[in-house]
Each structure stands twice: as structure tokens, then as C-alpha cells.
């Protein structure tokens, strides 16, 4: 049922656009979302790991990212099915224990586990690591299912979705740019950070939560999905190059996966891809206002984690203006 509030055009159907659209429609706005690609999630959002990890991300992110992302797990759980709240695990091979200590110094809200407790949480990792950091308050989603859940929710709320980037913006009360890296046309300080990822299917291994494996050069993470699928990610390359995954990235990700558990050697590779994260110079997502136009962009590696907070900020501006 469409609201009677302001009319809003949201450009871009990635996680930023969809979370903003749903948030505004829930507040009573009449929302139209336009997406230039062939489906919602035609940009970086399609390749994400879907980790909702405010405490682990603090390892490299400023405090405001952690602060603004604390509510994201409950936001996602309230809005889409399939949110898993099993925490996350961080491990390092024996030669890289110094990396585990360093990670622990830069983060909080974790328990340090020995091998027996690691085996309780993840039986398939029994005997493989002496120590781990366990962040029990974290979670994850399958990004593609989450985007589809938001699409359904928006339609239920009376929102419209147009797979067409030429929707005229003149007739709307507000226009919100959520076009990710494409917003560079007007926001020249946006840059791309390329991330390569692989999906494998491996019925021989079961994991109950994302596992980050530290390494001085190529830290990776493995996120379990339904039907024995695992997302393995991700490289961080200062580039807006969106071509296919490179041989180097593929071999580094697969080597690390195999180090986590040798049974992954028999896994079936079902997808290998690259996405480009839209990023501001400080890597912090922002809402910008210019008259009746907003931009909710620069999600960097935090699109799933921070879109709920940035969407709430955009709603505060729009509904605040009405009051």
C-alpha cells in the first residue's frame, strides 16, 4: 500500500538504493526505484560476502563505522528472512599467529578460543587451529537473497521498481542517488576498490559462521551459504577495473581456502567474479544533500553493514524537512 508522503525517485537498485527505498516507504513516502542494469543488484552488491561484522571491521575501519553499524544486524533480521546470527570466527595458520594478536589488539567484543572450543563451534575445523577469536554478536546474510527480500518488501509497501535509468526526475519531491560508482559523474572524489570473489560448492565441509583467515598479504574470509555453497573473498585492489577475476586472485583465494580445510580441494567452483566497491577517500559511506537531491554512496566494504544507518539518516533529512 503506497503512502501519502513525499514522492521519491531512488536511482540505483544495489543495497544502498534498496535499503533506502524500503526505509522511506516504511515512513510513508511514495517511492520509485530505477535500476539501470538488467536486475536489481547489478553492481557491487551482487558480489558481496554479506558479513554483518561491526566488531571485526573495526580492525581497519574508523570508530564511526562500528558505531553506526551496531543496529544493522537487527535491521536485517527485521526486514529479510535468512539472517544468521552465529557470530564470526577469526583464525590464522601457525606461522601467522602474530596476525591474530594484531587483529585482537585492534578489535573488541571477542572471546579468545583454544582448540577444544574451536572444535565445539566448528567441528570440521577440529585440530586445525590452536587459537581463534570468536565475535559472538556478529552475523551474515546471503546478499542475493537479501536484495530479493528487500525488493519484495518494497513492492508490498506500494513502491515501484523500474529497470530503466531514464525515469524523469523532475516530477519527484526528492531524488536520491544510490548509483554506487556511477555517482562519480557528479562526485569526483569517489573511487573504485576492486574485490574478487569465488563461490564453491563443497558438501564435505560444514561451517556455521563466516571464518576469516589472517595472512600478512592476503587475508581471506569464507562465508557459508545454503546448499553447501561457500563464498570466498575478497581481494582489495585500488582500481575501478571491473574485468573478470585474475589468475593471481583466483589462485590466492583458492590456496587460502585449501589451507583452511584440505577437503576444499575437491570443491566445485561455481562462480568467480569481481565487483568494484564505491569508496570515498576516507572509506566512510556518507549522505550528501544538495537542495532536494540526496546522495547515499561510498559504501566501500560496508554496504550491507552501513546501509541501514545511512538510510535512516536520509529518512531523517526527508521527513525532518516535512515536519
Ligand X SMILES: Cc1cc2nc3c(=O)[nH]c(=O)nc-3n(C[C@H](O)[C@H](O)[C@H](O)COP(=O)(O)OP(=O)(O)OC[C@H]3O[C@@H](n4cnc5c(N)ncnc54)[C@H](O)[C@@H]3O)c2cc1C
Residues of this chain that bind ligand X (CB under 6 A)? 11-17, 34-37, 42-45, 47-51, 165, 178-180, 182, 195, 197, 233-234, 275, 277-278, 297, 299-305
- Alpha carbon distance 283, 211 (integer Å): 23
Please report how close the Cβ of residue 317 comes to ligand X at its closest, in angstroms.
18
Please report how close the Cβ of residue 223 comes to ligand X at its closest, in angstroms.
7
Please report how close the Cβ of residue 235 comes to ligand X at its closest, in angstroms.
8
Q: Which residue has the cell 534498496?
A: 18
Please report how close the Cβ of residue 275 comes to ligand X at its closest, in angstroms.
3
Please report how close the Cβ of residue 35 comes to ligand X at its closest, in angstroms.
5
Comparison of 66 and 297: residue with beta carbon closer to ligand X:
297
- Alpha carbon distance 124, 279 (integer Å): 36
Comparison of 119 and 167: residue with beta carbon closer to ligand X:
167
- Alpha carbon distance 96, 84 (integer Å): 29
Please report how close the Cβ of residue 42 comes to ligand X at its closest, in angstroms.
4
Comparison of 47 and 135: residue with beta carbon closer to ligand X:
47
Label the pairing between strands 139-140 and 51-52.
antiparallel
Comparison of 44 and 118: residue with beta carbon closer to ligand X:
44
Comparison of 112 and 165: residue with beta carbon closer to ligand X:
165
Label the pairing between strands 30-34 and 211-213.
unpaired
Residue 111's H or E segment, with its range, is strand 111-114
- Alpha carbon distance 38, 163 (integer Å): 7
- Alpha carbon distance 234, 50 (integer Å): 12
- Alpha carbon distance 309, 19 (integer Å): 10
User: Which of 271, 232, 267 has its CA nearest to residue 252?
Assistant: 232
Comparison of 149 and 278: residue with beta carbon closer to ligand X:
278
Amino acid at each position: 500500500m503506497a503512502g501519502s508522503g513525499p514522492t521519491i525517485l531512488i536511482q540505483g537498485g544495489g543495497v544502498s538504493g534498496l535499503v533506502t527505498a524500503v526505509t522511506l516507504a516504511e515512513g510513508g513516502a511514495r517511492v520509485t526505484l530505477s535500476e539501470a542494469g538488467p536486475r536489481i543488484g547489478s553492481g557491487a552488491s551482487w558480489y558481496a560476502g554479506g558479513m554483518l561484522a561491526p566488531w571485526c571491521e573495526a580492525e581497519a575501519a574508523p570508530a564511526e563505522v562500528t558505531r553506526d553499524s551496531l543496529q544493522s544486524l537487527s535491521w536485517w533480521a527485521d526486514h529479510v528472512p535468512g539472517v544468521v546470527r552465529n557470530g564470526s570466527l577469526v583464525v590464522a595458520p601457525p606461522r601467522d599467529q602474530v596476525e591474530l594478536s594484531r587483529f585482537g589488539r585492534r578489535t573488541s567484543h571477542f572471546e579468545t578460543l583454544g582448540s577444544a572450543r574451536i572444535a565445539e563451534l566448528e567441528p570440521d575445523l577440529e585440530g586445525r587451529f590452536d587459537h581463534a577469536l570468536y565475535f559472538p554478536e556478529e552475523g551474515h546474510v546471503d546478499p542475493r537473497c537479501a536484495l530479493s527480500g528487500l525488493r519484495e518488501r518494497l513492492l508490498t509497501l506500494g513502491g515501484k521498481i523500474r529497470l530503466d535509468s531514464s525515469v524523469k526526475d523532475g516530477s519527484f519531491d526528492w531524488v536520491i542517488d544510490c548509483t554506487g560508482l556511477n555517482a562519480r559523474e557528479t562526485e569526483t572524489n569517489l573511487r573504485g576498490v576492486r574485490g574478487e570473489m569465488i563461490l564453491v560448492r563443497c558438501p564435505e565441509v560444514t561451517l556455521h559462521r563466516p571464518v576469516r583467515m589472517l595472512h600478512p598479504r592476503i587475508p581471506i574470509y569464507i562465508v557459508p551459504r545454503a546448499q553447501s555453497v561457500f563464498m570466498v573473498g575478497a581481494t582489495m585492489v585500488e582500481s575501478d577495473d571491473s574485468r573478470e577475476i585474475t589468475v593471481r586472485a583466483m589462485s590466492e583465494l583458492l590456496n587460502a581456502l585449501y589451507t583452511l580445510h584440505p577437503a576444499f580441494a575437491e570443491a566445485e567452483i561455481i562462480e568467480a567474479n569481481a565487483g568494484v566497491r564505491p569508496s570515498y577517500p576516507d572509506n566512510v559511506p556518507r549522505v550528501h544533500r544538495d537542495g532536494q537531491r540526496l546522495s547515499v554512496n561510498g559504501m566501500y566494504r560496508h554496504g550491507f553493514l552501513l546501509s541501514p544507518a545511512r538510510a535512516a539518516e536520509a529518512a531523517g533529512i526527508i521527513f525532518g524537512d516535512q515536519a
